[in-house]
Amino acid sequence: MFDPDFVVPMLVLSLPIFAILGGIVAGIVRSAGQQRMLELAQRERIAAIERGIDPAKLTPMPLIAQEIGSLGSGTDAARRRAQSLMIGGLVTVFGGIGLLVFLLMIEPGKNIWSVGLMPILVGSALLISAWLVWPRNGGSHRQGPGGA
């Protein structure tokens, strides 16, 4: 049906390439979507001000504008950062487990299953970093080494 000598190396070499490309594309799409949403909110505010509505009575700018303005400071930004690290860590750990099981099923007699250990270790590091940056003590968050 398929040649494992071709499929396994191709799978192992193509996964990081697809992961990197997917991350880049997701970042570009997210950034473009946020920029468009911010632009539409600004146009709406300008149109309301031109019609004579008091700017203080307008709804606040979307959360996207506040995130861009704060440049990643504050408890909410720290919590989002920690949650993102935790999600990335969980996805990577379980992806590694899936890769490990898949390779173990394809080549049961060989040690190629150990390729799945690398994503498991990377995911574990992401989970540890999420635990380190998670906000604690009523809003203050723990800084890493060298942090103030």
Q: Are 119 and 93 in contact (CB under 8 A)?
A: yes
pLDDT tens-digit profile of 52-90?
A: 888 788 877 766 655 555 445 567 777 888 898 899 999
| Tokens read off for 146 | 């060298």
Where is average pLDDT lowest: 30-34, 74-78, 141-145? 141-145
What percent of the chain stands above pLDDT 90? 19
**For the segment 91-112, what is each residue's pLDDT rounded down to a tens digit?**
999 999 998 888 888 887 888 8
Cross-strand partners of 135: 141
Q: What is the mean pLDDT of residues 2-18?
A: 82
- Which pLDDT score, from 0 to 100, does residue 138 have? 57
**Residue carrying structure tokens 């997210």:** 30
